[in-house]
Amino acid sequence: MTGYGKAEAQLETGKLTLEIRTLNSKSADINLKTQLLPKDKEIAVRQKIAQVLQRGTIDVFLTWEPNAAENAKTINGDLAEAYYKQIHAIYNRCATSGAPASDSLILASILRFPDVLDVKKADIITEENWPVVDAAIDQALAAVDAFRSQEGAVLYKDVTGRVATILSLYDQVEQFEGERIETIKARLLKNLEELQQKPDPNRFEQELIFYLEKYDINEEKVRLRQHCKYFMDTIDGEPYPGKKLGFIIQEMGREINTTGSKANHAGIQQLVVRMKDELEKIREQSMNIL
């Protein structure tokens, strides 16, 4: 959900630049980092942003660049005249000899007083120019959405490729199935020999079947494949699948973990570790999916 969008609105008094930046978040956390936006417009702007971007930490910046005429400063004549009279009187009262005070020097000093020069101030965003500003907001949101779409294409390729890798790794588990059963059977026979016990062959086979059923991973295999299919159907078919994908990933992890606990085979355990690694990367990336 990382994104960036920028737009400009050319108003009669200057140029307004709008920037929107987004980061990952589970909800829509909208921060209007500006004092230029009129208070009566904030709710509508927030609703528009939430509707388009859905969720994320969203920061909105507005910067203002006035025209030269609007940026011009005016002289407060009355205040300047009052300062002049006071300074001139003080100079004449304190000076005992020499040339009189220079008017140009006094005026130059007065013009450096901060309260003598005033910048023209007026409302930047008004009802008259609001349609232009509103259009700029739409343009910036569209740019953010396009940015997210490009990132989304990369994310889609990554996570779907990793789902395919998990399925491929699980298919490799089957090659160890026969060896795993024989290993378990051999271990049981060895334990019986160490105990110097000779069980009934038929009873032993029955118990062995019952024992192996507890380590059967066929159900996990079926469920994991179904979860992977549901993952693909969701990411392909829903406009905002992010939260649902998080639940599906949890279920995929459950089946992989159960397979690991039932494995009793080094080769299967290695495959399980690799599947967990792929699933963790999918989980991290899913936080970026709306």
pLDDT tens digit sequence for 148-182? 999 989 999 999 999 999 999 999 988 887 777 77
At 181 the pLDDT is: 74
Structural domain for 115, as ranges:
73-119
What is d(CA 234, CA 240) in angstroms, rounded to the nearest whole number? Answer: 9
| Lowest mean pLDDT across 9-23, 103-117, 229-243 | 103-117
* Arithmetic mean of pLDDT, 276-282: 96
Q: Does 276 lie in the same domain as 185?
A: yes
Residue after which a domain boundary falls, among 146, 181, 199: 146
| Lowest mean pLDDT across 28-37, 96-105, 141-150, 219-228 | 96-105
At residue 121 the predicted structure's pLDDT band, cuts being 50, 70 and 90, is low
At residue 130 the predicted structure's pLDDT band, cuts being 50, 70 and 90, is very high
- Residue 35 clears pLDDT 80, i.e. is over it: yes
Q: Does 62 lie in the same domain as 110?
A: no
Q: Does 256 lie in the same domain as 166?
A: yes
Q: Does 94 lie in the same domain as 10?
A: no
At residue 63 the predicted structure's pLDDT band, cuts being 50, 70 and 90, is very high
Number of other residues whose CB lies within 10 A of the CB of residue 129: 17
At residue 97 the predicted structure's pLDDT band, cuts being 50, 70 and 90, is low
Q: Does 140 lie in the same domain as 25?
A: yes
At 242 the pLDDT is: 87
Q: Does 127 lie in the same domain as 19?
A: yes
Q: Does 89 lie in the same domain as 190?
A: no
Q: Does 92 lie in the same domain as 8?
A: no
* Arithmetic mean of pLDDT, 34-61: 92
Alpha carbon distances (Å) from 61 to 21, 55, 125? 8, 18, 14
Q: Does 241 lie in the same domain as 172?
A: yes
Q: Does 100 lie in the same domain as 140?
A: no
CATH number at residue 131: 3.30.230.10
Q: Does 157 lie in the same domain as 134?
A: no
- As for how many domains the chain has, the answer is 3
For a pLDDT cut of 70, what percent of the chain falls above it? Answer: 92
What is d(CA 177, CA 216) in angstroms, rounded to the nearest whole number? Answer: 9
Q: Does 158 lie in the same domain as 263?
A: yes
